[in-house]
Amino acid sequence: MLEKEDQREFQEKLLRWYRHNHRKLPWRETQDPYKIWVSEIMLQQTTVQTVLPYYRNWLKQFPDIQTLSQAPLQTVLKAWEGLGYYQRAKNLHRASKIIVEKHQGQIPQNYETLQSLPGFGPYTTAAVLSFAFNKPYPVMDGNIRRVGMRLKGLQMEAKPSVDKQLKPFLTSLFLPRKSSDFNQSFMELGALVCRPQNPSCLLCPLQKFCQAFRSGTQELIPQPKKMNLQKIQAVLGIIKKDHCFLIQKRPSQGLMADLWEFPGGKIKEGETREEALHREIKEELGSRIQKEKCLTRVTHSYTQFRVTLHAFECELKEKPVLNPQTHRWVTLSEFENYPFPSGSVKVIQCLKKRYSPQK
Ligand code: SF4
């Protein structure tokens, strides 16, 4: 902890730097808790540049909690398509319904009540309470955690358990009633100055208080996480009837729940792509296939795994077993009405190029 005198200097330097250097972002120009909540959910694991157009479209489509709570889930997922981690959109939707039904459409200001809503973990709860209501909670995102770890010289991985050490330190630096500015300043400093690589320590207002800078260990903090990116190979069947393509809905639980996809699945060990395609279509639609022809191959990286999708055009030999709740024949333009995982969106782009009428 810093001495009183140093604390004051720390606070003044940080807030002055923020006033002169922060980026103008739409969610910083508002005190509306709903807009702040939406931005915080979108910004999880996603860059500001990616989020900006989604955020603007979202607020056009769902300008307030009431509108969001009344929208069909499929419309909500479509607005989220491409942002990934679709559970975030489902939780926004579920929480909006609870807020309207139980809290008169007002986002609760009590920590425990707010944290009990779907999608409100410790991070989002602290962020909404701090940014919208100026409540004194440190918002432990990756940027703040990194700045805090470097200030304290903690040479370890940026695990959530580190937060136990950082929270009392950061809280001791808060100015009463300036919680929002304080959290925003730390975050912005982490994004613009105290970056993961090549931090600009010579421009940093907190240099004097930074143990990592003093010991020259800033680039070693935090230590990198050990990641094992799983690689998945999968096949998809592009089945066409007249001008329509067959798609199916994923289950409501698990990975990419409630999104739509083409029939198909993972290639098993020892299987060729064609064998996997025959097996998957038989299992999923109860029909054998013929005339399979590789249409395209796309790769997409998610956080935990990297998937390569081999899309085959093929014909069904028998009448498929379809469930009207979970299967649809859709035209090229109707793809727009259904939310798909990002890998499938790339396949759809390929289909549009192939089948759109030449202009
Ligand atoms: S001095 Fe360097 S390492 Fe320390 S907080 Fe500032 S930018 Fe980060």
pLDDT, tens digit (0-9, with 9 covering 90-100), for 44-83 = 888 999 999 999 999 999 999 999 999 999 999 999 999 9
In percent, the amount of the chain with pLDDT more than 90 equals: 81
CATH number at residue 134: 1.10.340.30
Predicted confidence (pLDDT) at residue 264 exceeds the cutoff of 80: yes
Structure-model confidence comparison of residues 69 and 358, the more confident one: 69
How does the average pLDDT of the chain come out, rounded? 93
- Kindly state the average pLDDT of the residues 173-185: 87
Helix (H) or strand (E) holding 325: none
Which stretches does DSSP call E strand in 182-229? none
Final residue of a domain: which of 220, 246, 269?
220
pLDDT computed for residue 176 by the predictor: 74
CATH number at residue 292: 3.90.79.10
- What is the rounded distance in angstroms from the CA atom of residue 233 to the CA atom of residue 135? 47
Instruction: Give yes or no for residue 2 CB within 6 A of ligand 1.
Output: no
pLDDT computed for residue 358 by the predictor: 61
**Does residue 339 sit within a domain?**
yes
Q: Are 132 and 13 found together in one domain?
A: yes
Final residue of a domain: which of 188, 220, 252?
220
pLDDT digits (tens, 9 = 90+) for 126-140: 999 999 999 989 899
Instruction: Give yes or no for residue 206 CB within 6 A of ligand 1.
Output: yes
**Does residue 225 sit within a domain?**
no
pLDDT computed for residue 228 by the predictor: 75
Is residue 40 annotated as a catalytic residue, yes or no?
A: yes
Q: Are 205 and 235 found together in one domain?
A: no
Final residue of a domain: which of 167, 191, 220?
220
Residues 5, 9, 12, 40: which is the catalytic one?
Answer: 40
Instruction: Give yes or no for residue 201 CB within 6 A of ligand 1.
Output: yes
Instruction: Give yes or no for residue 207 CB within 6 A of ligand 1.
Output: yes
How many domains does one find in the chain? 2
Give residue for tokens 């009463």.
176
Domain, as residue range, for 234 = 230-355
**Does residue 67 sit within a domain?**
yes
**Does residue 348 sit within a domain?**
yes
- What is the rounded distance in angstroms from the CA atom of residue 237 to the CA atom of residue 277? 7
**Does residue 159 sit within a domain?**
yes
Rounded to the nearest whole angstrom, what is the distance from the C-alpha of residue 17 to the centroid of ligand 1?
13
Rounded to the nearest whole angstrom, what is the distance from the C-alpha of residue 120 to the centroid of ligand 1?
30
Rounded to the nearest whole angstrom, what is the distance from the C-alpha of residue 207 to the centroid of ligand 1?
6
pLDDT confidence band for 158 (50 / 70 / 90): confident
Give the Cβ contact number of residue 308 at 10 Å. 15
**Does residue 81 sit within a domain?**
yes
